[in-house]
Amino acid sequence: MSIYHYCLVEAFTERACGGNPLEFFPDARVLSSELMQALAKEFNLSETSFVLPPQKPGNGFQVRIFTPASELPMAGHPTVGTAFVLARKQLIKMTEPTTSIIFEEGVGDIAVTLKTLPNQHLSIQMRQPLPTFGEQFRDRAAIAELLSLSLEDLDPALPCEVVSCGVPFLFVPLKNLAAAHAIRFRQDVWERVLRDFSASQVFAFTREVETPGSTVHSRMFAPALSVPEDPATGAASGPLGCYLVRHKLVEGTASARIVSEQGLEMGRPSFIQIEIDSVGDAITGVYISGQCHFMGEGSMEVPASL
- Quick: pLDDT tens for 258-286: 999 999 999 999 999 999 999 999 999 99
Relative to beta strand 292-302, strand 270-279 is unpaired
Q: What single letter denotes the amino acid at residue 251?
A: E
- 30: burial class by Cβ within 10 Å (0-12, 13-18, 19+)? exposed
Please give the CATH topology (third level) of the domain spanning 132-286.
Diaminopimelate Epimerase; Chain A, domain 1 (3.10.310)
What are 108's strand-pairing partners? 105
Residue 20: per-residue pLDDT: 98
Domain boundaries, the chain: 2-129+291-302, 132-286
Relative to beta strand 61-66, strand 48-52 is antiparallel
- Quick: pLDDT tens for 289-299: 999 999 999 99
E-strand stretches of the chain: 2-11, 20-25, 48-52, 61-66, 71-72, 98-105, 108-116, 122-128, 132-136, 161-164, 168-173, 202-206, 216-222, 227-230, 255-262, 270-279, 282-290, 292-302
User: Cα–Cα distance between 109 and 266 in angstroms, integer?
Assistant: 32
- Quick: pLDDT tens for 95-119: 899 999 999 999 999 999 999 999 8
Render the burial of 53-91: b for 16+ CB within 10 Å, e for the rest. Answer: ebeeeeebbbbbbbbbeeebebbbbbbbbbbbbbbbeee
Q: Among this protein's residues, is 47 annotated catalytic?
A: yes
pLDDT band at 305 (very low <50, low <70, confident <90, very high): low
Q: Which candidate in 10, 23, 47, 229 is catalytic? A: 47
- Quick: pLDDT tens for 125-162: 999 999 999 999 999 999 999 999 999 999 999 999 99
User: Cα–Cα distance between 81 and 26 in angstroms, integer?
Assistant: 12
Residue 2: per-residue pLDDT: 85
Relative to beta strand 48-52, strand 20-25 is parallel
User: Cα–Cα distance between 163 and 237 in angstroms, integer?
Assistant: 10
Please give the CATH topology (third level) of the domain spanning 2-129+291-302.
Diaminopimelate Epimerase; Chain A, domain 1 (3.10.310)
Is 30 or 288 the better-scoring residue by pLDDT?
288
Q: Decide: 287 and 234 in contact? Cβ < 8 Å.
A: no
Average pLDDT of the chain?
96
Residue 36: per-residue pLDDT: 94
